[in-house]
Amino acid sequence: MAQWEVLVEAAVARLVSRRRLYGTRLISLAPPPELPKTFSGPRPSERSGMEIRLDRATLNRWLAEGGGEANVHEQEVGEELLLFSSNDYLGLSSHPAIREAAAKAAKEFGMGPRGSPIICGYTTYHKLVEESLAELTKKEDCFLCPTGVSANLAVMTALGSITSLLAVGRKPTKDERIAIFSDALNHGSIIDGIRLVEQQQQAVSFVYKHCDMSHLDFLMSSCSTEKKVVVTDSLFSMEGDFAPLPQLVELRKKYGFLLVVDDAHGTLVCGDNGGGVPEMFECENEIDIYVGTLSKAAGCLGGFVACSTTWKRLLQSRGRSVIFSTTLPVPVVASIHAALHVARKEQWRRSLLWKHVQYFASLTKLDITSPIISIVVGSEEAALRAGSHMLRSGFHVTPIRPPTVPPNSCRLRITLSAAHSSDDIKRLAEALTPWLPHKHGKPGSSKGHAEQSFAATSKL
């Protein structure tokens, strides 16, 4: 919103006056080779990225965690498993173009310059990827980060720095602090970032019930702090449900808050062009700061913040988790560049992934809305038994337990990929039959977890 642009411009001006505004020094490398070859549909080798092999000792230990009596038949359980717990939603991690791009860059440049992006780690490859991501998300600029976690931490610390910079050498008063409103099920890196700026007395936080816009409206109407921020995941990693972005946009018009969206699980997965959940809901222009990752659907490594150029200038000077980290190696950045091209050209990957979601829903009768499927089984013992059962059935599906989720809401977290086949989906659904909900509540519902998590995290 206009108020926030004024604030961030004032903060940047303060840095300029103190000679503390830092930027990158572009190191020129030979341009990447011509854009890689793409494919019109799945190849026979597509599934290889989802086929894994466990070490026998690891397999036996995992099986033993599930309880029951050990017997010699456990040695008959195969070490080769089909992976259904990866975030490689489009199956790009093993794509020939991504492999080739990384190999060529490594052969020509090694790992590239080793240093922070504001020292010597920013190259023409990094710049090219930032420009591609800004275009994808329909933002003015982009800030490339080592990981998605570092991206969230950078955004939160940069936000908090506005309070300190504008206080001009004194501790900010309570009225000068930022009020951050966070969804109860936001990613841990968002929560850690908020805790950090609270400890610095730069912000005060409020947690609203998961996707509950009435509760958020109430909290905002009760808060007298002028500078308000709402931060939310777009597609929640443990629930598989979407943030109500259209309703958040309406509240944004009412209160004028800064809207920060972490689209880690939506980038390249959602939207006709892979622009993520904001594109899917047709509200890209209403998102002020877009945080994404390149470690999931892109099949590579890294994170990014798509934003205005002014925000990027602040992030480069106050995003501590990035400016004090060595930049991504050039071969990784080259692979990202290739992955973004492939994801744009091979649109059939997104289409196939969503067909898998619909097929799995039809087989299991679960009310699911995304490639992330959360089957709550209750206790830790039940989750471990379910995990062992899936191992014996030939599937790698990791049981999720505390502290990732609250007690008694342990679950099997299943993720679908375009690299899976329809037969893989069918066999998975059959193996899951003993653990599917049938009687109590809406199938696939995790409302209880949301409520319980809010109670547990009502103070960040």
Write down the mean pLDDT value for the chain: 91
For residue 91, pLDDT beyond 90:
yes
Residue 73 banded pLDDT, cuts 50, 70, 90 = low
Query: With 60 as the cut, is the pLDDT of residue 447 above it?
Result: no
Q: 357: part of which helix (H) or strand (E)?
A: helix 348-364
Parent domain of 338: 115-345
Does some domain include residue 386?
A: yes
Measured between its terminal Cα atoms, the distance across the chain in Å is: 26
If asked whether residues 206 and 220 sit together in one domain, one would say yes
Q: Which of 320, 345, 370 is the last residue of a domain?
A: 345
Domain count, the chain: 2
Same structural domain, 311 and 401 = no
Whole-model pTM: value is: 0.92
Residue 438: predicted pLDDT: 66
Pair 363, 329 in one domain: no
As given in the structure block, the two tokens for residue 160 are 């908090």
If one counts every other C-beta atom within 10 angstroms of the C-beta of residue 386, the result is 22
Return the CATH number at 315: 3.40.640.10
Which amino acid is it at 365?
K
Q: Which residue has the tokens 């913040």?
A: 305
Same domain assignment for residues 262 and 396: no
The pLDDT of residue 267 is above 50:
yes
Cβ 441 vs Cβ 450: under 8 Å: no
| Domain stop point among 310, 345, 380 | 345
Residue 108 lies in a domain: no
Residue 300 has pLDDT above 70, yes or no: yes
pLDDT tens string 161-220: 999 999 877 888 888 899 999 999 999 999 999 999 999 999 999 999 999 999 999 999
Model confidence pLDDT, tens digit, residues 118-146: 999 999 999 999 999 999 999 999 999 99
Q: How far apart are CA 338 and CA 100, in angstroms?
A: 9
Distance in angstroms (rounded) separating the CA atoms of residues 184 and 454: 5
Asked whether 143 and 313 are in contact (CB, 8 A), the reply is: no
pLDDT of residue 58: 85
Neighbours of 384 (CB within 10 A): 20
Q: Do 379 and 272 contact (CB within 8 A), yes or no?
A: no
pLDDT digits (tens, 9 = 90+) for 311-348: 999 999 999 999 999 999 999 999 999 999 999 999 99
User: What's the distance, CA 33 to chain centroid?
Assistant: 29
The label of the residue with tokens 């006056």 reads: 17
Mean pLDDT on 396-405:
91
**264 exposure class (CB count in 10 Å sphere: 0-12, 13-18, 19+):** buried
On whether both 177 and 258 belong to a single domain, the answer is: yes
Q: Coil, strand, or helix at residue 144?
A: strand
Instruction: Indicate whether 99 pLDDT > 70.
Output: yes
- Statement to judge: residues 217 and 313 lie in one domain: yes
Helix, strand, coil share (%) of the chain residues, nearest 5? 45, 15, 40
